[in-house]
Amino acid sequence: MKLHLSLLALPAATRALIPTGSKPVPPPMRVATAELFESQEPLLDTLSKKRRRRRRAPAAVDLAGGLDALPARSSGEASSRRGRAQMQRRDDAPLTTMGRRARRLRFAGAAPLHGWVPDVAQFCYGLPGALAPMGDFDPLKLSKQTISTVRRYREAEVMHGRVAMVAFVGFLVGEHGAHQVLDVEPSLTHDALLLKTPGLLLGALATVVGVCEAYRAARGWVTPESPEQVWEMRDSYYPGDIGFDPLRLAPADASGFATMATRELQHGRLAMIAFMGLVAQEYQTHETVSDSLAKLLA
């Protein structure tokens, strides 16, 4: 009796398919085929278009009441804005605290420094200086450090190379021209010439070097406000670019600047090795470079 009463609530077409005294038979399952999806595609397109229109439709805001008339942001929009702000703060973190952030290339959105933007996929973060036949020569893996450390290494390499080039020329000039300025013998070794140099001249030289180094530190380094910022370089400072170029030799284009920087690095590296050779030669033979060279060529 209960079964017959429940069947009365079903449509006539469905009651005709169910025999009396048996359980209701479920309708056959439809297999998901390409034809089925094609038949439902207009309906899906209509629904998606309606959703897009609802998202793009701007809310009508009456600005007559000022900022108070603006609708309040939803919690989801506020949280997304907070997330973007946090990501921006992380991207703006200093170089010394980057760590894994270096792999996200926070310099990608910054202005390039003479055309250079750090790239973790390249040798030495893309800094110029590699030249055939040595290529990417780094047996001590110094270029695998953080980008902040690599920039300090490049700064030290450039400055030591410049000092070595000047010292190499000064080494030879001192042997042949110092007696014309100072009251010394024409041929003195470097140590003997240094001992004969007046203290006032050495003090003036030390003062000039100190002023130059103070200017370089103010231009390239952040004023430390904590112990972690003592060795932190400015983001806008290219290693070695102290702004001193009276002859306008630095090219304006990125490719030319990289080529010029590579030449300077290679000459500086050679000058550092050559200067160490001059000092070692004098300590070994106790003769000037000119006398030793004259003996070799005789």
Annotated binding site for chlorophyll a: 143, 157, 195, 264, 269, 281
What is the DSSP-derived secondary structure letter of residue 142?
A: G
Which residue is it, tokens 């110092």? 178
CA distances 19 to 4, 16, 98, 130, Å, are 11, 7, 76, 88
Query: Which residues fall in the annotated binding site for chlorophyll b?
Result: 160, 162
Please enumerate, by residue number, every residue annotated as part of a binding site. Answer: 143, 157, 160, 162, 195, 264, 269, 281
Tell how far CA 211 is from the center of its chain: 29
Return the half-sphere exposure (C-beta side, CA atoms, 13 A cut-off) of residue 30. 6
For residue 98, with 0-12 CB atoms within 10 Å meaning exposed, 13-18 middle and 19 or more buried, which class applies? Answer: middle
Select from 215, 217, 221 the least CA-distant residue to 233.
Answer: 221
Question: Do 83 and 96 contact (CB within 8 A), yes or no?
Answer: no
The pair of structure tokens assigned to 194 is 């240094």
For the record, the structure tokens of 290 come out as 């000119």
The Cα 196–Cα 192 span in angstroms is 6
- H or E element: which one contains 105? none
Nearest-angstrom CA–CA distance, 229 and 225: 7
Tokens, residue 181 = 């300025």
The conformation of residue 98, written as its DSSP 8-state character, comes to -
CB 195 within 8 A of CB 298: no
> Helix 254-285 crosses helix 289-297 at what angle (to 10 degrees)?
80
106 contacts: CB under 8 Å, gap ≥ 6:
91, 92, 93, 98
